[in-house]
Amino acid sequence: MAQSPAPPLGYTWEDYRSWSDDGRWELVGGEAVARSPSPGFRHQAVTVAITAALAAFLKGQRCRVLAAPLDVKLSDVDVVQPDVLVVCDPRRIWETHIEGPPDLVIEVASPSTTVYDRTLKRELYARYGVREYWLVTPYPHLVEVLLLDGDSYRVHKAYRRQDTLTSPTLAGLALPLSGVFDFPIPDADRIEEVHEESPPCSRLPPPLRSRGASVT
């Protein structure tokens, strides 16, 4: 059964909202991007640790920390699901999605998404004014804090496992990364095997529509 081709001008938010829930998708410039395969153990361990630490720090404050899967609508043709995000304007938080750019976005790299996070995602977040962007590498342990400078990002600071991360956006945050990178380190052969087996983030047609006319 063939899937319907993309419209001449690309997919929109309305199209995106009509797709089935099978799989994780994003829109970049109207093009459907499949986020596959699902994140591995180290990715999830780091994501959970960062989310928990930010939730504790932000308790009682105006800003809210949220985690994927949650749609962030940057425009009618750009829709993403960052691993972790912080939103300080309550008007951006809708029941179904985040409307507009978060104040802070965090992407935790995996073998299938590293290039995507460092190129297309980086350009997209800068274009729509996300002030601060963390690129987190689970292993080797590294967090790169990028700060918006005009229409592009500059590296504010890079942190390793033994460091305590601070944020230009979240004043007063002191995040010890030893607690974030708290998981067993697989041997070198196994790390190499994971990188070889994981396919790149693929751009594919979207899944079959959950509503509307059927396709053949």
Output the CA–CA distances (angstroms, integers) from residue 82 to 16, 109, 125, 178, in the order listed.
16, 11, 10, 23
Q: Determine the pLDDT at residue 203.
A: 53
- State which residues form the domain around 185: 39-197
What Rg do the C-alpha atoms of the chain give, in angstroms?
18
Residue 10 lies in a domain: no
Is the pLDDT confidence value at 89 over 50?
A: yes
Mean pLDDT across the stretch 61-81?
Answer: 96
Residue 212 lies in a domain: no
pTM over 0.75: yes
Is the pLDDT confidence value at 189 over 50?
A: no
Q: What is the distance between the alpha carbons of residues 93 and 77, in angstroms, rounded to a whole number?
A: 19
CATH number of the domain residue 181 falls in: 3.90.1570.10
Closest alpha carbon to 165 in 183, 146, 147, 143: 143
- Other Cβ atoms closer than 10 A to 143: 23
Is the pLDDT confidence value at 3 over 50?
A: no
**What is the tens place of the pLDDT at every residue in 41-61?**
999 999 999 999 999 999 999
